[in-house]
Amino acid sequence: MYNIQLGKSGLSVPTVAVGCMRIADMSEKQISAFIETALQNNANFFDHADIYGGGKCEEVFGNAIKTLNREDIIIQTKCGIRKGLFDFSYEHIIESVEGSLRRLNTDYIDVLLLHRPDTLVEPDEVARAFDELKSSGKVRHFGVSNQTPYQIELLKKSLNMPICANQLQLSIMHTPIIDSGINLNMYNDASVNHDSGVLDYCRLNDITIQPWSPVQYGFFEGCFIDNEKFPELNKTMQKIAEKYSVNKNTIAFAWLLRHPAKMQPVTGTTNTERLNDYLKAADITLTREEWYEIYLAAGNKLP
């Protein structure tokens, strides 16, 4: 596992983040094995959100890390989603962080992301909350998720610290942030710019993209690996996987890591064997030819 810089934060992080969205119902033994597998692979960056498992994911994780040195792990969590609405108000951000700190059994959060855009956002309120959390030592770095360049620019107008990360949906089977750039000035569907050029914007502004659902297609419709709906893609991935003596899970992550944006994909599994597969991707560098071969096998076309 190699490390990258998380945006302009100055924080060195492993290039694969360990997602904890599905750990709520795991036993203590399973969670300990899950965390141990990650740490054995030098993957010490764990991604949470206050809504995952209704807060239980943070709680069971906090119980599991009591015996660990807090400085040896990096915790990222997210706030801003309430039932039926998004809320970036000062009061909600502060309340959410206090809850996460309590559940995670920690005095500080390394990275806090705003979870999806709140169209009623008041950037000055966000800045007030961030300033208070930063000065108190409760949060060290800040980022966003699923936000467009102009939404980030609106926040930056008031913020006194950099946005270090933007968590975006991206996988071999979900590539709109890549497609629109390749198909610029075309009339086909792939040319539609859904996100104001967020990929290039993040690269230009040193904001680390954290791909979520990296082995999923659609909006949580399922995994594309070994899925009969995608025979050509799986055939191509299998061929390339055999070349590197790994499996298709590893190739799915290697495909993301090959992009020069220096992304930090977030795993979504609770299976330790599969987690091992994903983390192995850091040891593989696909060729340009292999990257495009996989892209085309996913059903994409080059103009």
Distance between CA atoms of residues 76 and 19, nearest Å? 10
Cα of first residue to Cα of last residue in the chain, in angstroms, is 35
217 labelled catalytic: no
Q: Helix crossing, 149-156 with 123-135: angle to 10°?
A: 60
Distance between CA atoms of residues 57 and 60, nearest Å? 5
Q: Which of 2, 52, 244, 295 is catalytic?
A: 52
Comparing C-alpha atoms, which of 170, 172, 146 is closest to residue 234?
172
Q: From residue 221, give the alpha-carbon distance in Å to each of 59, 224, 229.
A: 27, 9, 12
Long-range contact set of residues 144-148: C-beta below 8 Å, sequence gap at least 24: 144/113, 144/114, 144/117, 145/78, 145/113, 145/114, 145/115, 145/116, 145/210, 145/212, 146/116, 146/117, 147/114, 147/116, 147/117, 147/198, 148/117, 148/195, 148/196, 148/198
**Active site residue ranges:** 52
